[in-house]
Structure 1
Amino acid sequence: MLIKKIFVCEFVTAGGFNHADLPAGLIAEATLMRNALLYDLSSLPYTISTAVDARLEPPEHCHTCVAIDVNEDAWDIWKSQIQLADAVWIIAPETDGLLRKLTELAVQEGKLVLGCGVDAIHITSEKLATYFMLQQTGIRTIPTYTIKNWPKTAGQWLAKPNNGAGCDETVLFDDPDDLLHWMKQNNKTESHVIQPYQQGVPASISCVMQQGRAQVLSCNTQMISIESNQLSYAGSEVNGMRDFWHEFELFAQKIAAICTDLNGYVGIDVIVDTQNDNQITVVEINPRLTTSYAGLAEATGENPAELIMNTLTQPDFIWPELQRNIVSIHV
């Protein structure tokens, strides 16, 4: 398929949410990813278009930017822009099936999706489904419960949305009774899953997948803080975990092999237990761009968008030797 025009469909900054209801950090993360991707694509031989909420500053490094007014239906505009493009690059959270719905829209319009397929998004967007997939294939992951089958033993426990992105609405309690009280008080007994708190270094793997194969872009440390029981994400140190490159690469390859619909950029969140022989546990799989993407050009010495495009469109593409520079990303 000849690709001439790419539509970058970024959900958060393009009017998908009412920004008055959004945490400032989420808007900052979305803007960071979008701007980095547009910059990387701008040096490639494609016509790049995107859309933005008319109340926000329009991005640079694109040929066309459609402003979406507050009274307009963003989905109608996204559909019309998808129809004009050859390929679509979607940046959206998994929350409420948003990433999956946009991907389905692009597929229905017969466009090449520069990202994961619907089946992979459906599984990895849900914590329980991801847990069962990884557990059944022998990949170490965190036990995940609904409130109905939670053993409720002593110790630290996390509650997080079964269908959500990042640290959104994720809480940690030292007493299981306190966690149960929080879930009931905040009406989260149906929407949230429960996991034992895993000690170790929070990290992530940035990689590119295609048809069951994976190439690692970087091995990152995640900056996660806890305040008033609420977890929050403050950024990452791209390649802060580069000493674990080989181990992370093995995990990425295993995940790519068991879920072959994972394509394009994929982020894998892991915990490295440095007190227990550096045991690695998979936390979740992000079938989309993550904020670490913004540091990849400097970290690798390559254009990450070009690497992804070449991987998805050239069956015999040979990856270059990547640099492993350390780059800090703050949000």
Structure 2
Amino acid sequence: MTAIRVFLYEFVTGGGCWSLSNPQPPGGTLLTEGTAMLQSLACDLLAVGNLELHVLADSRLAPFWPEGSWAHEVNGGSDERRLLLSLAESCDMTLVIAPEFDELLLTRCQWVASVGGTLLTPNVNFVALAANKQKLADYLHAAGLPVPRSVALRNGEPLPRNFPFPAVLKPIDGAGSLAVQLVRTATELREYRSSRQSWRLEMFQPGTAASVSVLCGPQQNLVLLPGQQLLTKDGQFNYLGGTWPLAVGDQERAAKLATRVALALPATCGYIGIDLVLGPAGDGSDDVVIEVNPRLTTSYVGLRQLTRTNLAAAMLRVAEGLPVTVTWHDQALTYHVADMPLGDHTCIG
């Protein structure tokens, strides 16, 4: 039987940083998280069997790809685009992991589509919607889903009158907690706005920051085990890691709301991450949707340690419209980004 050819692209490890205005070698937590996501997913894909896996590799990085995969070296921005287009065209399916800001994720999904490639991650239309936080919030609100009160801001425009503080200021197209800031007064808001052109200002929502990953496909949206996000308490909400499971009641609330979100969104395939805040009301009436990540998230690294099921295999089956059941170990897990071990990812068959 001919092996399935899969192209797994991750922006930070795959040479995407060459395309930035200041193309420094990748580093810091972005590299840690990017490497962990790629290694985890690559390892699980290889464990599926009868699969030929291709990745891009920034030439400035030490070897990071799992044994058994094909690594294609990227020596510059033109190299990255050329190789991505070639592999997306020649492989049976492509998975794209990249930040949403500056349309980095959207552009690479468009490259795949331009050569007739098959995405096993959210499609161009889905990414275009989810990557714009204000557009997504308006879409979800129109679908009857709870989202924080918000307003879109551009530099030079007057501040909204009577908007309640504290509030959270974030880029319209941000990724994760990049440039996110808690603002307590209109004066603080003026100070932070000057650094970017387009912003979203939303009411601060007290409660538990929860994350729910969903495997999407034509026949089902498979909701995975909800967890809690660990965030810094300095007003910047930097992602520190995650912990599972939530309390039973909170699990049910998070899964129920995430199911509604996935059903309301345009049809797509692959892994998405839905960020929620579970409010203080035990009946879920204060719960809100914060954003949808149209890509694999770092939660995958933790979830794969909690399941008896190969999540990559499950993702493939869901995308094919086949029935899937995921089973979980009866255990708790907390992981921290700073402690992520690189190059040590046990494959789950």
- So what's the TM-score if we normalise by structure 2? 0.86
Q: Note if 1:50 corresponds to 2:55.
A: yes
Contact 1:206–1:220 (CA<8 Å) still a contact in 2?
no
- 2 CA distance for matches of 1:41 and 1:115? 14
Structure 2 equivalent of residue 317 of structure 1: 323
Structure 2 equivalent of residue 164 of structure 1: 174
Q: Note if 1:280 corresponds to 2:290.
A: no
If asked which structure has higher relative contact order (CA below 8 Å, sep 6+), I would say 2
The superposition leaves residues 152-176 of structure 1 with CA deviations (integer Å, 9 ceiling, x where unpaired) of 5352121111011100010112222
- 2 CA distance for matches of 1:262 and 1:212? 11
The superposition leaves residues 301-321 of structure 1 with CA deviations (integer Å, 9 ceiling, x where unpaired) of 2111010011112x2424244
The superposition leaves residues 257-295 of structure 1 with CA deviations (integer Å, 9 ceiling, x where unpaired) of 222333211100000113564432100001110101012
Which piece of structure 1 moves more, 164-173 or 270-279?
Answer: 270-279
Matching residue's letter, 1:308: M
Structure 2 equivalent of residue 8 of structure 1: 8
Contact 1:152–1:176 (CA<8 Å) still a contact in 2?
no
Matching residue's letter, 2:14: A
Structure 1 equivalent of residue 264 of structure 2: 258
Structure 1 equivalent of residue 239 of structure 2: 233
- 2 CA distance for matches of 1:241 and 1:306? 28
Q: Note if 1:80 corresponds to 2:86.
A: yes
Matching residue's letter, 2:31: I
Distance 1:102 1:204, change over 3 A: same
Contact 2:6–2:52 (CA<8 Å) still a contact in 1?
yes
In the TM superposition, residue 28 of structure 1 has moved relative to its aligned partner by 1.2
The superposition leaves residues 43-66 of structure 1 with CA deviations (integer Å, 9 ceiling, x where unpaired) of 112111101111112222442001
Q: Say which SS state the counterpart of residue 325 (structure 2) adopts.
A: coil
- 2 CA distance for matches of 1:38 and 1:102? 19
- 1 CA distance for matches of 2:46 and 2:248? 28
- 1 CA distance for matches of 2:104 and 2:243? 28
Q: Note if 1:26 corresponds to 2:33.
A: no
In the TM superposition, residue 243 of structure 1 has moved relative to its aligned partner by 4.2
Which piece of structure 1 moves more, 217-226 or 321-330?
Answer: 321-330
Structure 2 equivalent of residue 215 of structure 1: 222
Matching residue's letter, 2:266: T
Structure 1 equivalent of residue 137 of structure 2: 131
Distance 1:316 1:212, change over 3 A: closer
Distance 1:27 1:150, change over 3 A: farther
Contact 1:12–1:27 (CA<8 Å) still a contact in 2?
yes
Matching residue's letter, 1:38: A
- 2 CA distance for matches of 1:68 and 1:296? 30
Contact 1:240–1:326 (CA<8 Å) still a contact in 2?
no
Structure 1 equivalent of residue 341 of structure 2: none
Contact 1:91–1:289 (CA<8 Å) still a contact in 2?
yes
Contact 2:226–2:255 (CA<8 Å) still a contact in 1?
no
Structure 1 equivalent of residue 310 of structure 2: 303
Q: Say which SS state the counterpart of residue 207 (structure 1) adopts.
A: strand
Matching residue's letter, 1:49: H
Q: Note if 1:201 corresponds to 2:208.
A: yes
The superposition leaves residues 179-210 of structure 1 with CA deviations (integer Å, 9 ceiling, x where unpaired) of 222212x2x2x222111111111111011122
Matching residue's letter, 1:219: P
In the TM superposition, residue 241 of structure 1 has moved relative to its aligned partner by 5.1
Matching residue's letter, 2:112: A
Which piece of structure 1 moves more, 111-120 or 18-27?
Answer: 18-27
Percent of residue pairs bearing the same amino acid type: 24
Q: Note if 1:245 corresponds to 2:254.
A: no
- 2 CA distance for matches of 1:317 and 1:79? 32
Contact 2:273–2:296 (CA<8 Å) still a contact in 1?
yes
- So what's the TM-score if we normalise by structure 1? 0.91
- 2 CA distance for matches of 1:319 and 1:51? 31
Contact 1:205–1:220 (CA<8 Å) still a contact in 2?
yes
In the TM superposition, residue 235 of structure 1 has moved relative to its aligned partner by 1.0
Matching residue's letter, 1:286: N
- 1 CA distance for matches of 2:244 and 2:68? 26
Distance 1:220 1:73, change over 3 A: same
Q: Say which SS state the counterpart of residue 17 (structure 1) adopts.
A: helix
- 1 CA distance for matches of 2:148 and 2:68? 41
